[in-house]
Amino acid sequence: MFTGFWLLLCLSLLPGSPVAASIDVHEFKDEVTRQRYLAFTEEMRCPKCQNQNLAGSDSPIAADLRRELYELLQDGKSDKEIVDFMVARYGDYVLYRPQVKTNTLLLWGLPSLLLILGLVMVGLTLRQRRRAQPGSADLAQAEEARLQKLLAAAAERAKHTNNPQR
């Protein structure tokens, strides 16, 4: 019974152990190449996973892409050559920030277009509200006339109040 308990405990801890996780171990020529590798794995998306980069994905396709990326870096490929290769092979989806092309123009332009449309709507709404309110000059003249009437009435009352002979 005591041995069965320890066996069950060990088996329950096994799936959560770090041995089960996939770890890529790569040797780089220099620190710059390592930093480029890390930047690419952070900036490229796993084709299988939804919105997960290559660095954070444990899928087999992400492991293949990391291996392919490592080999391209070891071959001395430039950043543009690496991006072009990945896009040619996996499509624009592999990039978190796709290149501006005719088929991605809507993706890049839509946020700006919506912002401009929103600003135009706010401007039109404010302009319509200003037109709906009475003109401030007309209001000021009406208030001035009313104020003069009130002052005249108050002066007349004060004159009658101060003059008890009437």
Identify the weakest region by mean pLDDT among 125-129, 154-158, 159-163: 159-163
DSSP tag of 30 = S
- At residue 19 the predicted structure's pLDDT band, cuts being 50, 70 and 90, is very low
Better-predicted residue by pLDDT, 7 or 125: 125
Domain with residue 36: its CATH number is 1.10.8.640
- At residue 123 the predicted structure's pLDDT band, cuts being 50, 70 and 90, is very high
Please check whether residue 2 lies inside any domain of the structure.
Answer: no
Please check whether residue 13 lies inside any domain of the structure.
Answer: no
Contact 86, 65 (CB under 8 A): yes
By residue range, what is the domain housing residue 159? 135-166
**Residue 149: predicted pLDDT:** 92
- At residue 124 the predicted structure's pLDDT band, cuts being 50, 70 and 90, is very high
**pLDDT digits over 143-158, tens only?**
888 889 999 999 888 8
94 with 32, same domain: the answer is yes
Counting every residue written for the chain, the total comes to: 166
**pLDDT digits over 72-118, tens only?**
988 888 888 988 888 888 887 788 777 777 776 777 788 888 999 99
Q: Quick one: residue 51, left, alpha or beta (phi over 0 = left, psi -120 to 50 = alpha)? A: left
The number of folded domains in the chain is 2
**Residue 20: predicted pLDDT:** 42
Contact 96, 44 (CB under 8 A): yes
